[in-house]
Structure 1
Amino acid sequence: LTAWTTTTLAPSHDILPPKSLDHLESLSLAQPYANGRVTIGLGFDFYFLPREAVVGTFERFRKAGVKLITSHVAKNAVFGTASTVELLHSYGLLGPDLVLSHATQLTREEHALLHGAGVHVSSTPSSEAQTALGWPVALRSDVHGSLGVDSHAFCGSSILSEARAALLLARQETNAALLDKGRWGWGIR
C-alpha cells in the first residue's frame, strides 16, 4: 500500500516492494524462532518477471536462510499452458526446498524433472476439483506428493477430508477412463 488512513486506501503497483523484501530478508536472517519450531518461507508466483528478477529473488532468500519456497503451478486456461517447471529448471531453481501447490495437468517429463530435483507437491483435492484445475496428483507414484488444504472460502480445513477427496477423485479418474471405453471397474485390482 502507498497510503492507508481512515479515509484512504491506495494500493501499490510494485509487486515486489523493496521495503517488504527487506523486511522478509531481515526476518529470514534472524531465524530460527521458537527454538526452531518456526521458520520463514517465501511464497512466489511471479514467473512473468524477467529472469534476473526471478533468479535474484530465489538466490537472495535462499542465501538469507529461507527454508521453504512455495509456488502455485498448473497448466490450464487459468494458469496458462507455458511450463513453469521447465522455466524453473532452465533457471536452475528446482530443489528440495521448493513446494509446488497443485502441479496439475503437467507432462510426465515435467513430473520427472520435479521428482529428480526433490521438489514436493502439495495437492489440495477439494480446491482442485472446485476450481477445475485437473486431477489431483497426491497419490501418483512419480510425485513427491502431500495433501494440503487451500482457500477456506470454499474448502474445509480438515486434512482427513482432503485425504477422502483424494481417494474419491483418484477412483473417479480411473473409472472415467473405463466408462469412456464402455467398461466398468468392478474386476480391476
Structure 2
Amino acid sequence: MATFWCEWAWLPQGPRPGVRFEVERGRITAVAVDVPAGDAEQLPGMVLPGLANAHSHAFHRALRGWQTGDRGTFWTWREQMYQVAAALEPDSYYRLARGVYAEMALAGITCVGEFHYLHHAAGGTRYADPNAMGEALVQAARDAGIRITLLDTCYLAGGFGRELEGVQLRFSDGDAAGWVSRVDQFTVDGERARLGAAVHSVRAVPGEAIPEVVEWARHKPLHVHLSEQRAENEACLAAHGCTPTQLLDSRGALGPDVTAVHATHLAAGDVALLGGSGTGVCLCPTTEADLADGIGPAPELRVAGSPLSIGSDGHSVIDPLAEAQAIESYQRLATETRGHFTAGELLDVAAEAGHRSLGWTDAGRLEVGARADFVAVDLGSPRLAGAAPDAVPAVARAGDVREVVVDGERIVRDRAHRAVDAARELRDAIADLRKPR
C-alpha cells in the first residue's frame, strides 16, 4: 500500500486542504481531509484528478511549427499532413508517439484516446501483422506511462462518391467487413489499454457501411469526426439530403457510447439530436483555431444533454487545461459575455468526462474506488500567484504541472518524465520524418 499527502486536492465536492490518499493496486482505498502529512509521499500544490485527452492523432505532432506562415485552409493543411503520413512505418511511428505521449504526461494527461487510421503500408499493402501500426501506438503509450484507448478507425472513401487516392490507401481496409476482420485480430492489455472504434467521418465512410462499425463497437467507445468544416456539411447535404448529424442518427450512430469530435458547424436540430441521444462532444479548441475551423456551440450542446470533453487533436498545443479554458474564452469572444463555464465544470470536461468518453469510467475523480491518478499543479508558479484554490482549473497551464501519478505510480517528478526525454525523442523523430524522400 502507498500513501500520498496533498497540500490541496480537488475532491468531488471541490478543493480541500491537507488530503491523504491511501492507494492499493492502483486504486484509491481511503481519503482523509485536513490531516498532517506524516510519513506519506507528498504531492505539493493543488492535486487534480488525472486529465484525459479524448482526441489525438499522434503523427500530427510532426506538423507543429512547420510552414506556419502560409495562408490556406483545413484542406491545404491536410496535404501537409498526408506528407507525414506517407513517411511513417511502425518503428518510426512508435518513436514519434512515445515522445508525443511523454509530452502529454508532462502536461498532466493520464489517458489518451488515439483516433488511429494509419493502418497499412504504402499503397495499402498489409503488414505481416495487420495491426502493427496500432500496436506501435499502444506500446508507445505503455512506455510513456499513460493509459490509451485505441480508437481503431474505419476509413473507406476519399469523399462522398470519391475513390481513395495516394496516401489514403494506407487508411483503408477495403470495406467495413475488412475493417471488422482486421480489428477482430487486435488484442490489447485491458489494464492500461483498451480498444474502441471510430467512423472517420461521414465523407470517409459511406452511409451503408456505418451500421457495421456501430454493431462491432456496441458497448465500446465509438468516436466520429463531425461537421468540422462547412464544406463537409454542404457535401453531405448534396449527397444525402441531410446534415452529417442526421445521417449518423439514421444509421444508429448516436448514443451515450458515441463521441462526436468537433461538432463545430451544427444546425439547431443537430444540437437537439446530439443532446437528446446523450452523444458526447469532444471539443479541440486549439486545433480548431489553428486550422481556422470555427467555434462550436459548446453551451448549447451542454444544455441539450451532450457531455463535453477535450482533445489536443493535431497537437499544435498539448495542454489539456488550456483546451478546457479555451472553451470558455472562445465563447466569450463569440457572444461578448462571460461566465459560460465554472472552473469546476472545466475540470470535469478535462478529467472525468474525457475518461468516460474513452471507456474508463473509474478515472477522472479523486474518491474511494477510483484510479489513483494525481496531477500536482505548482501553486507557487508566477502564473498562479494570488489565485484562489478554487480557480486553479481556470488559470493553470501545462507548464504548472509538477508531478504526475498514474494508477499509483509516479511518472513525472519535478517536471521530468521518469523514462522518456520527450524533447529529444520528438526532435529526433520529427527530423527523421522531414528528411527528403
Instruction: Calculate the TM-score normalised by the size of structure 1.
Output: 0.72
Query: Identity percentage over the alignment?
Result: 27
Shift of 1:117: 0.8
**Selected match of 2:313 from 128, 145, 150:** 150
Shift of 1:70: 0.9
User: Partners of 2:202 and 2:228 in 1: how far apart?
Assistant: 13
For residue 173 of structure 1, report the CA deviation from its aligned partner.
0.5
Match of 2:253 among 77, 87, 93: 93
Q: The residue matched to 1:79 in structure 2 has which SS? A: helix
Kindly state the Cα deviation for residue 165 of structure 1 after the two structures are TM-superposed. 1.8
RMSD: 3.0
Q: Give the length in aligned residue pairs.
A: 164
- Cα separation, 2, equivalents of 1:105 and 1:144: 17
1:60 corresponds in structure 2 to 216
1:103/1:33 Cα in 2 relative to 1: closer, same or farther (>3 Å)? same
Q: Deviations over 1:5-45 (max 9, x none)?
A: xxxxx874782346653231233xx56712xx532111212
Deviation per CA, 1:84-136: give whole Å up to 9, x if none. Answer: 11011112221111101110120121111111111000011111122222213
**Do 1:124 and 1:150's aligned partners in 2 also have CA atoms closer than 8 Å?**
yes
For 1:181, the equivalent position in structure 2 comes to none
Report the CA distance between 1:138 and its aligned residue: 3.5
Aligned to 2:322: 161
Q: What is the CA deviation profile of residues 36-82 of structure 1, one whole-angstrom value per residue up to 9, with x for unaligned ones?
A: x53211121242444332212221332xx5x1111111164442333
Distance 1:55 1:3, change over 3 A: closer
CA distance in 1, matches of 2:327, 2:285: 5
Pair 1:23 & 2:182 matched? yes
SS at match of 1:104: coil
- Mapped to 2, the partners of 1:42 and 1:68 lie a distance apart of 6
Partner of 1:2: 125
The residue type equivalent to 1:103 in the other structure is: A
1:42 is matched with which residue: 175, 197, 214? 197
Report the CA distance shift for 1:20/1:57 in structure 2 as closer, same or farther (over 3 A): closer
Q: Is the 8 A contact 1:123 1:145 kept in 2?
A: yes
Letter in 2 for 1:107: A
Q: Structure 2, unaligned stretches of length 5 or more?
A: 1-123, 128-166, 238-242, 339-437
Would you say the 8 A contact 2:207–2:247 is kept in 1?
Answer: no
| Kept after mapping to 2: 8 A contact 1:123/1:137 | no
Supply the distance in 2 between the matched residues of 1:107 and 1:41 (Cα, whole angstroms).
Answer: 28
CA distance in 1, matches of 2:232, 2:222: 19
CA contact under 8 A between 1:69 and 1:97: conserved in structure 2?
yes
Maintained 8 Å contact 2:210/2:253: no
Q: TM-score, normalised on structure 2?
A: 0.34
CA contact (8 A) 2:224 2:259 kept: yes
In the alignment, the residues of structure 2 paired with residue 110 and residue 11 of structure 1 have an alpha-carbon distance, to the nearest angstrom, of 29
Residues in 2 aligned to 1:32 and 1:3: alpha-carbon distance in whole angstroms: 23
Matched-pair contact (CA < 8 Å) for 2:201–2:225 = no
* Secondary structure in 1 matching 2:194: coil
Question: How far apart, CA to CA, are the structure 1 residues paired with 2:288 and 2:282?
Answer: 11
SS in 2 for 1:26: coil
Gap runs ≥5 in structure 1: 5-9, 176-184
Q: Which has the higher contact order (CA 8 A, sep 6+)?
A: 2
Contact map agreement 1:123 1:146 (CA 8 A) in 2: yes
Higher-Rg structure is: 2
2:295 to 131, 135, 138: 135
Q: Using the alignment, how far apart are the partners of 2:233 and 2:183 within structure 1?
A: 29
